[in-house]
Amino acid sequence: MQTLIQIASFLIDTLGTLYLLAILLRFMLQLARADFYNPMSQVIVKLTNPLLIPFRRIIPGLWGIDFAAIVLALVFHALVLELLIFVGSGQIALSLLIIAWSFIGNALFMITIYLISLIIMAIASFIAPYSANPILMLIRQMNEPLLKPIRRFIPPAGGMDFSVLFASIGLVVIQMVLVGIANGVRAPLHFMLGWFL
């Protein structure tokens, strides 16, 4: 019985994490005005449209922000957490607590996505600085709004762009603050973020 619970939790966690990743990537790429016609963008759009389109009928976007994607990410995260807790313990968690956990979990997940993409960008700048690979192009576009303000204060020097380093430091500090808050509200960070934390 315990083995079945572990298998079910693993499958729910893995599939839930992958789909949540797609939802958050769609939101982050739209926020950055990334190339909609990039092949990777199209894959993300096709994966998320079935759930996102009904949310868009109810929740409009404002100021270029896709609020429907944010709400979908929160609702989806909350449902997966609820399902994981139910499979693991047979209990239902308090709804307000689940919403708080989902909010913190999504924020931490987005920071993790940014950190991983910045590491990929840094490595690619040494290995293939002028690559036209669709994934690398999308990563550059997604990170540009994050890096552009830093470059105003710390311009590239000697062919080295330090904005990636300072953005990563800032993101890690924010991540530490959020993990502290998550621990304060006893958020189960091993769910959904177990791969990354």
Cβ proximity of 26 and 33 under 8 Å: no
**What is the mean predicted confidence (pLDDT) over 169-182?**
89
- Give the pLDDT band of residue 100 (cuts 50, 70, 90): confident
pLDDT at 113 over 90: yes
Q: Tell me if 87 sits within 8 A of 9, measured CB to CB.
A: yes
Q: How much of the chain, in percent, has pLDDT values that exceed 70?
A: 86
Look at residue 82 in the predicted model and tell me its pLDDT.
83
Give the pLDDT band of residue 161 (cuts 50, 70, 90).
Answer: confident
Instruction: Name the H helices within the chain.
Output: 2-31, 39-58, 67-89, 95-127, 134-153, 163-184, 190-193
Structure tokens that stand for 103 in this block:
């909010």
The string of pLDDT tens digits covering residues 18-30 is: 999 999 999 898 8
From residue 190, give the alpha-carbon distance in Å to each of 86, 182, 193, 194.
15, 11, 6, 4
pLDDT for the residue 125: 77
Average pLDDT, the chain: 82
Question: Is residue 181 scored above 80 in pLDDT?
Answer: yes
Q: What is the pLDDT of residue 158?
A: 65
> Would the pLDDT of 156 be above 90?
no
95-127 and 163-184 are packed helices; what angle lies between their axes, rounded to 10 degrees?
Answer: 160
Is a pLDDT exceeding 50 seen at residue 41? yes
User: How much is the average pLDDT of 110-124?
Assistant: 89
Q: Which residues contact 44 (CB under 8 A, 6 or more apart)?
A: 22, 25, 26, 29
